[in-house]
Structure formats: structure tokens, C-alpha cells
């Protein structure tokens, strides 16, 4: 069994009434329906009875948890009068006894007084008892005497009485004032546990006296409620711990499975990324190689084009040089012919001077002609010999000189044109070289960009 009572009272009563599973009790001063209860064990077996509790706090708990019992919030005494009830904040010490009240107030306990409706134990039994009362327990904090004196022991005779018999928190006897009433009513003292006194009605004494021979002990097969609660809590915690361990194992398995799955997915993702990177690198390398090959072809074509242009320009320059050489030779020959012509003109002038009359007449004309010949000498020097001979043969020297001048101007114009053509060719070559350098730099930059991109992808 499980003992809920504060001093093993329920163990003694269980020994007395064993092995009965039903019965009837009256609990005066029932207090809590579980903690410290003398009747909890019997209620759990299937017994029922009457619980008298003037403290409203405990009465509410009794109403909630003792649904088979009759739960009364009244005061018991020698009459039905109202009684002052000293209710302390400290639970379990409220009383109708002024002496007990003073004991607790002297020790700093706070209380308040209220008037409680009163009745008698005889009245309770009259209204709520239909058969035999197996046991009556009275714990009234010093108010046991009035309750005992208010009973009808002739009509209602509980088999066993359990009455608290000491002053508060002591072993000082307090039963001298009320025990004579019980003896007179036909009850014999059976057992004292240091707090409570057990009485048996005389008619049941022979049958039960041996059951009071020894105090509660291990042979009664009981354990404390607190021990049972601890064991239940231990079992609950053990079950919860096993459940948590099972959940933890399952969670660990799920975690391991999730980790394995994530690792496989991670490895697959890494492998896929490697393949994609390798494919991208290969594509970039192919594109880079194709771009390089294209750049090489473009570069070779540009070099070939530039080389062709360069060769053409060199050929043009060589041709211009050859033309200039030819022109120079022609000019040298013209200068030589002009020198000869000048010599011949001087000779003729001397011959004309020998002809005084003629020369005097034509002196002014000769001087004018000499000046024109001198100014045109440079131009005539550019004329070819054949042209000079052709024009001299006409006998008209002035016209020949004019023709020489025209020829010299034409030669000068051709030389200027040739020089301009050469300068233009040089400029075109320089521009072509610049464009070729720019094209080469751009292609080289693009080629390096592709190479760097390919290296980064690796």
C-alpha cells in the first residue's frame, strides 16, 4: 500500500480492516484530499464516507477530488450554534480553540476570524450515516473535546476511533479532558503513536486487540506517498528519458542520413561543377585557339597587305627615283646645251659688235635680247637637246627661247608633281603602318583577353 497520512495512521487502519475493499469512514478535520490524508488509501480502494473541513480552501479540493464522499464545510461542537473560526494563513493549523490560536499567534502566524455554522457529530451521523461506521478520525487542533461530547455514542458506534491527543507540535498530552467520555461510551484505548490515540469499541476489542500489538513496520508492506511519487516521477522520467533517447537515436539516424545525403549531393554538385568548368574551359580554349588562329590569319593577311603595299610603295619610289635620275640627266644635258648655246650667243654677239653699224642700231635690241636670254637660261637648261636643236634650226631664237621656257616650266611642273606623288605615297605608307600597328595591338589585346579568360576558367 501507499501511505498518505502524516504518522502512518492509514497503515494501522489498513492492518485492522484488511483485507476489506469497501467500508465507511468519517474524517473530521479532513484537510487536503491527498497530502497527509488518513482516508486517501481507503478511498482509492473503493471506500467512501463523510469529510468535515471548516477551511474553505481544503473544502474546495475535497469537492473536486472526493466525488463519492460527502464533503461538509461546517464546524462541529456540542451544539448547532455559530462558532468563531480562527483561520491561519499557515495551512493545517486553523482552529476553534482560543488556546491553540494563541500558541500560533505568539509565533508570528497571521490569522483572521470568521463565524462558522455549527452542528454536532450526532447531527452529521443522523443525516449521512445509514450503516456501520468503520472508523472515525478527529484532528481538530485542540477542539477534539467538544466534538466528542457532541456525538451520540449509543446510536452511532464507529469500530475504531483515531483522535489527535497532544498539544501543538509537542508530546504534551491533551487527552485528559475528553478520554473519560470515550471510556464511558464503551471504548477501550488500544494504541498511541506519539501523536494520535487509537480506541476500539468494547464489542470489537477481542477481535482487533492483537492488531495493535506493534507499530507500523516493513512487514505491513507499505511505502510513503512521497516515495511512491518519487518512484513514479523516476519511472516517468526514465520512460521520458528512454523516449528522448529513442527520439535522439532516431534524430541522429536522420541527421546521419541527411548528412550522407547532403554529402552525396555535395559531391555530385562538385563533380557536376568540375565537369561544367572543364567543359567551359575546353570551350574557351577552343574559342581562344580559334580566335588566335583567326587573329593569326588576320595578322598574316594584314602583314601581307602591308608588305604588298610596302613593296608597291618601294616600287613606286624606285620608279620615282629612276624618273628623277632621268630628269636630272636630261637637265644636265640641257644645261650643257645651254652653256654651248650661251657660248655661241656670245660669239654671235661679238660678231655683231664687229659690225658696228648693225650693232649700234640694234644695240638696244641686243641688250634687251641678252637680258631675256639670261632670265630664260635656267628654263632653257631644262629643255632637251633635241628640242633645242629643233627650235634653233628655225632661225628664230626668240621663239626657241620661248619654247625653251615652256619646256622648262613643264619639266618643273613634272618634277613638282613627282615630288608631291612621292610625299603622298610616303604619307599613305605612314598611315598604313599606323593602322597596321593599331590593328595588331587590338588583335593582340583580344588574344591576351581570351588567354587570360581560359586561364581563369582552369
392, 375, 372, 395: which is closest to 364 by C-alpha? Answer: 372
Which tens digits make up the pLDDT trace of 53-81?
998 889 999 999 999 999 999 999 999 88
46, 33, 47, 45: which is closest to 4 by C-alpha? Answer: 33
CA angle 49, 222, 171 (to 5 degrees): 75
Beta bridge partners of 112: 87
User: What are the structural domain ranges in the chain?
Assistant: 2-221, 242-334+382-457
**At residue 383, what are phi and psi to the nearest 5 degrees?**
-80, 145
pLDDT (0 to 100) of residue 125: 97
Residue 416 has pLDDT above 80, yes or no: yes
Query: What long-range pairs does 99-106 form, CB within 8 A, spacing at least 24?
Result: 99/142, 100/141, 100/142, 100/143, 100/167, 100/168, 103/167, 103/168, 104/168
CATH 3.40.50.150 fits 2-221, yes or no: yes
Q: How many CB atoms lie within 10 A of CB 211?
A: 18
CB 310 within 8 A of CB 304: no
Q: How many residues does the structure list for the chain?
A: 458
Whole-prediction pTM value? 0.54
117, 55, 46: which is closest to 80 by C-alpha? Answer: 117
Q: Find cell 620615282 and name the residue.
A: 320
Which tens digits make up the pLDDT trace of 303-354?
777 577 767 667 765 765 776 677 567 767 766 866 776 677 567 678 767 8
Longest pairwise C-alpha distance within the chain: 214
Q: How many CB atoms lie within 10 A of CB 316?
A: 17
Instruction: State how far the Cα of 284 lies from the Cα of 454, in Å rounded to an integer.
Output: 6
Q: Give the pLDDT mean for 293-302.
A: 78
pLDDT (0 to 100) of residue 359: 46
Instruction: State how far the Cα of 233 lies from the Cα of 209, in Å rounded to an integer.
Output: 38
Type and span of the H or E element at 222: none
CB 408 within 8 A of CB 382: yes
Q: Give the pLDDT mean for 345-373.
A: 64
Residue 29 has pLDDT above 50, yes or no: yes
Amino acid at each position: 500500500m501507499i501511505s498518505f497520512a502524516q504518522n502512518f495512521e492509514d497503515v494501522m487502519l489498513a492492518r485492522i480492516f484488511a483485507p476489506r475493499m469497501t467500508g465507511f469512514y468519517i474524517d473530521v478535520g479532513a484537510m487536503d484530499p491527498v497530502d497527509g490524508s488518513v482516508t486517501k488509501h481507503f478511498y482509492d480502494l473503493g471506500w467512501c464516507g463523510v469529510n468535515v473541513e471548516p477551511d474553505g480552501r481544503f473544502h474546495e479540493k475535497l469537492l473536486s477530488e472526493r466525488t463519492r464522499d460527502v464533503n461538509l464545510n461546517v464546524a462541529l461542537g456540542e451544539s448547532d450554534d455559530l462558532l468563531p473560526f480562527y483561520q491561519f494563513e499557515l495551512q493545517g493549523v486553523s482552529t476553534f480553540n482560543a488556546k491553540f490560536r494563541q500558541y500560533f499567534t505568539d509565533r508570528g502566524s497571521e490569522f483572521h476570524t470568521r463565524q462558522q455554522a455549527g452542528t454536532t457529530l450526532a447531527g452529521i451521523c443522523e443525516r449521512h450515516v445509514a450503516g456501520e461506521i468503520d472508523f472515525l478520525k478527529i484532528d481538530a487542533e485542540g477542539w477534539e473535546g467538544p466534538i466528542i461530547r457532541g456525538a451520540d455514542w449509543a446510536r452511532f458506534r464507529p469500530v475504531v476511533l483515531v483522535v489527535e491527543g497532544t498539544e501543538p507540535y509537542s508530546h504534551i498530552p491533551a487527552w485528559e479532558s475528553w478520554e473519560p467520555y470515550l471510556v464511558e461510551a464503551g471504548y477501550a484505548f488500544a494504541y498511541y503513536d506519539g501523536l494520535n490515540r487509537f480506541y476500539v469499541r468494547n464489542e470489537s476489542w477481542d477481535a482487533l486487540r492483537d492488531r495493535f500489538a506493534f507499530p507500523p513496520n516493513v512487514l505491513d508492506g507499505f511505502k510513503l506517498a512521497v516515495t511512491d511519487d518519487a518512484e513514479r516521477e523516476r519511472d516517468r522520467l526514465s520512460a521520458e528519458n528512454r523516449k528522448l533517447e529513442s527520439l535522439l537515436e532516431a534524430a541522429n539516424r536522420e541527421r546521419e542520413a541527411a548528412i550522407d545525403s547532403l554529402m552525396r549531393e555535395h559531391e555530385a554538385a562538385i563533380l557536376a561543377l568540375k565537369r561544367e568548368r572543364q567543359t567551359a574551359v575546353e570551350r574557351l580554349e577552343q574559342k581562344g585557339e580559334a580566335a588566335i588562329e583567326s587573329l593569326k590569319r588576320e595578322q598574316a593577311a594584314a602583314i601581307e597587305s602591308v608588305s604588298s603595299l610596302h613593296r608597291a610603295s618601294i616600287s613606286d619610289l624606285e620608279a620615282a627615283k629612276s624618273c628623277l635620275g632621268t630628269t636630272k640627266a636630261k637637265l644636265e644635258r640641257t644645261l650643257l646645251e645651254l652653256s654651248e648655246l650661251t657660248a655661241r650667243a656670245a660669239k654671235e654677239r661679238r660678231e655683231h659688235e664687229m659690225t658696228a653699224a648693225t650693232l649700234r642700231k640694234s644695240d638696244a635690241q641686243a641688250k634687251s635680247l641678252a637680258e631675256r636670254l639670261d632670265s630664260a637660261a635656267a628654263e632653257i637648261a631644262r629643255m632637251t637637246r633635241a628640242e633645242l636643236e629643233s627650235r634653233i634650226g628655225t632661225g628664230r631664237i626668240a621663239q626657241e627661247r620661248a619654247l625653251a621656257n615652256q619646256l622648262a616650266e613643264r619639266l618643273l611642273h613634272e618634277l613638282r608633281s613627282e615630288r608631291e606623288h612621292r610625299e603622298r605615297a610616303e604619307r599613305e605608307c605612314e598611315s598604313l603602318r599606323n593602322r597596321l600597328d593599331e590593328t595588331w595591338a587590338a588583335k593582340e589585346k583580344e588574344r591576351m583577353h581570351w588567354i587570360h579568360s581560359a586561364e581563369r576558367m582552369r
